[in-house]
Amino acid sequence: MSYYIKLRGYRSKNMEFGVKQEHLIEVQSSVQVLFPPDYQPSSSDLTFSEVNEHKNWLTHVQTQNHQNAILQYSQSQRSKRMAREKFKVSEKPQPIRIKTWTPRESPVLSQQEAERLDAAISDAISTMSNILAVRRVSRKLLLNRDINKYCRFIWRNSSCANYNKCGRANDNFRTESCLGVTIPDDHLSGCVVYPHPDQPDVRVIKPDGAGLPDTDVLIYIKAQSTDKCRADSSVLAYSAHCQSDSDGRPVAGVMVICREPLSIEGFSHDHLVQTMIHELLHVLGFSKELFSKWTGRSLSSQMAVDISHGQMIYMDESGQMRLYTPNVIKALHTHLNTTHMDLGAPLENQDADSRGFSSHWEARFLQGSIMAAMLAEPSLVRIDMITLSALQDTGWYLVNLSQAQNLLWGEILILLLHWQDNFSFNASVSGRCYRHRCTGTNMYQIQVFGYRGEIFCPDKRLCRYRTVASPHKPLPPGPTGPPFSPTSSK
């Protein structure tokens, strides 16, 4: 999954990798010799020595089967232990350590471009390290290789000692990659082949890499004028989550920064920093591809909330897709000064997938949020409490909520809730400040669909939005209904 950030919007595109995999199923026969309790060999039957030979053979078969079972169990336990130790974590959450890596294939930047990029990276990572804490990876970080890529077939018979392990290498396999970035062998765990289904013989294809010390998340950053950047000049950056640990927490991702904005005369450092924070949040978990991995388990206590993945996101009665997780609902209650129990955070509908899921907040409700589908000018963008509460609900982070910034947008909904008996408005309330109303009698006035009275912007800075042209015709009335409809029971 990749994400695109634009000056006025986002675009997402699914990335699917076709994998051809061959399976070898090994079927083993089980032979058992039965002797009746009162059996006595006669001259016409087996001799005593032949009977003992059969008994010895049976004992050997039984012993061999027992040894295979022990071997299979021990190898299974060793594999699980190695998987846990690869991402072995400390008990106490500490500030997240995000390391960046410039791929070898990245183009050489000018001194000005490199300085601007490095400064933005430093500020974005510093910001996130002040907000998020994790149980740190205590060993060097090593990423997994994809067995479906380096392996030609896998032992699939569950009775095999080497069940689910690679039986033959794929000679065409060369490198691991993510979003067009080649992952160095030094960052990857090794891969081996078990030529026989029940023998411990191992052939090493690639040894373990050196790994990355003091790293909880690795971000590959490439500044380049890619096809996606050239196709739409408003695209500033896009990103992808590449790999997670055994708990589902993302440990690697790729961020592509479109090169052209780094050299323009109107370059904005703050805008680039906010763009990178936005993309980092996608990689760290705010993604429609990762919603189903959220656990709801708090790192600050042993308590866990019940998050049903099937009910985290669903459509309300007005057709709006919403995210329903405990801390998000609590943050919305505070922001909108309401106790409506069915209040979920609305998701953007413009970049939704076939399920209706989006990786952005709906800007009509949460404009100005760092995770809205439209980033405004830097002075209006906020790392808001609702977004940080969503990170809490992933279960992967201890979130420093004191770093949350107040949204300037959304307070108009409080007024609408107070006035809902006096006028009609549509379920998806939206409003916009207009520069021509930023002075004089109607100072900071906002226009809301379906409402003909006066509502004022909560802050005069909203008048700085670029979309400030006066509408050419009156706003159409919207359908009646409450702004927060009860959620579906399905």
- Residue 42's identity, in one-letter code, is S
Question: Cα–Cα distance between 380 and 466 in angstroms, integer?
Answer: 11
Question: Cα–Cα distance between 251 and 23 in angstroms, integer?
Answer: 30
- 3 pairs with which residues across the strands? 12, 239
CA-atom Rg of the chain in angstroms? 30
Closest C-alpha among 282, 404, 414 to residue 331: 404
Rounded to the nearest angstrom, the gap between the alpha carbon of residue 86 and the centroid of all alpha carbons in its chain is: 20
Q: Which two tokens stand for residue 281?
A: 């949040």
Q: How many CA atoms lie within 13 A of 485 on its CB side?
A: 19
Q: Which two tokens stand for residue 329?
A: 């609902």
CA angle 215, 221, 226 (to 5 degrees): 160
| Annotated binding-site ranges for Zn(2+) | 278, 282, 360
Any idea how long the chain is?
490
Q: Which two tokens stand for residue 125?
A: 């990572």
| Annotated binding-site ranges | 278, 282, 360
CA angle 257, 261, 264 (to 5 degrees): 155
Closest C-alpha among 222, 215, 291 to residue 254: 222
Catalytic residue at 265?
no
Given 105, 260, 265, 279, which residue is catalytic?
Answer: 279
E strand intervals along 38-160: 94-95, 98-101, 132-134, 151-155
Q: Which residues contact 58 (CB under 8 A, 6 or more apart)?
A: 32, 33
How crowded is residue 247: how many other Cβ atoms within 10 Å of its Cβ? 15
Q: Which residues contact 450 (CB under 8 A, 6 or more apart)?
A: 423, 424, 425, 426, 429, 475, 477, 478
Q: Helix and strand tally (H, E) in the chain?
A: 9, 22
Rounded to the nearest angstrom, the gap between the alpha carbon of residue 410 and the centroid of all alpha carbons in its chain is: 27
Question: Cα–Cα distance between 322 and 291 in angstroms, integer?
Answer: 12
Catalytic residues: 279
